[in-house]
């Protein structure tokens, strides 16, 4: 059993048939979907709506790199808790840490560390995170 990231946002998920291979084990690429959903819900929990940020402020996020460490297999019908935390910010880049635990036994399933960049939606050129957006993350710490 492994501890979750302290003070991180946690989002519950369940493994569906569509997430698995023929053996009922989560297909490796689907873990990226689970991590993405948790990051999106992290933003929502901080009052940030991706659609509004793009439409009203003409900004988008793009993942620059991601490292996933697979520890245990998640299987069909597993309930999972997926955490997400903004762990650092430097210039136009932000780093996120995530982990995934199985509810039934608390086992660590996978971890992810990634960096993302904020971009101007029209040109896709790098943009600094606006102060109002940064403040939304700081208010909940």
Is residue 127 within 8 A of residue 63, CB to CB? The reply is: no
pLDDT tens readout for residues 51-62: 889 999 999 999
CATH superfamily of 9-135: Hotdog Thioesterase (3.10.129.10)
Q: Is the pLDDT of residue 50 over 90?
A: no
Task: Calculate ∠ Cα 47-98-112, nearest 5°.
Answer: 135
pLDDT in tens, 117-133: 999 999 999 999 898 88
Contacts of residue 17, Cβ cutoff 8 Å, sequence gap at least 6: 76
Arithmetic mean of pLDDT, 58-83:
97
Quickly list H helices, the chain: 30-45, 50-57, 131-139
Which residues are catalytically annotated?
Answer: 21
Domain ranges of the chain: 9-135
- Does 1 score more than 60 pLDDT? no
Query: What pTM value is reported for the model?
Result: 0.90
């Amino acid at each position: 059993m492994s501890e979750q990231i302290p003070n991180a946002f946690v989002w519950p998920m369940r493994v569906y048939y569509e997430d698995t291979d023929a053996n009922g084990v989560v297909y490796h690429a689907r873990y990226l979907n689970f991590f993405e959903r948790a990051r999106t819900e992290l933003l929502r929990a901080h009052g940030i709506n991706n659609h509004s940020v793009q439409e009203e402020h003409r900004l988008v996020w793009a993942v620059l790199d991601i490292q996933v460490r697979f520890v245990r297999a998640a299987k069909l019908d597993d309930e999972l808790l997926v955490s997400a935390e903004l762990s650092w910010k430097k210039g136009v880049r932000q780093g996120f840490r995530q982990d995934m635990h199985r509810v039934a036994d608390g086992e660590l399933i996978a971890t992810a560390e990634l960096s993302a960049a904020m971009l101007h939606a029209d040109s896709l050129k790098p943009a600094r995170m606006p102060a109002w957006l940064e403040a939304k993350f700081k208010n909940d710490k």
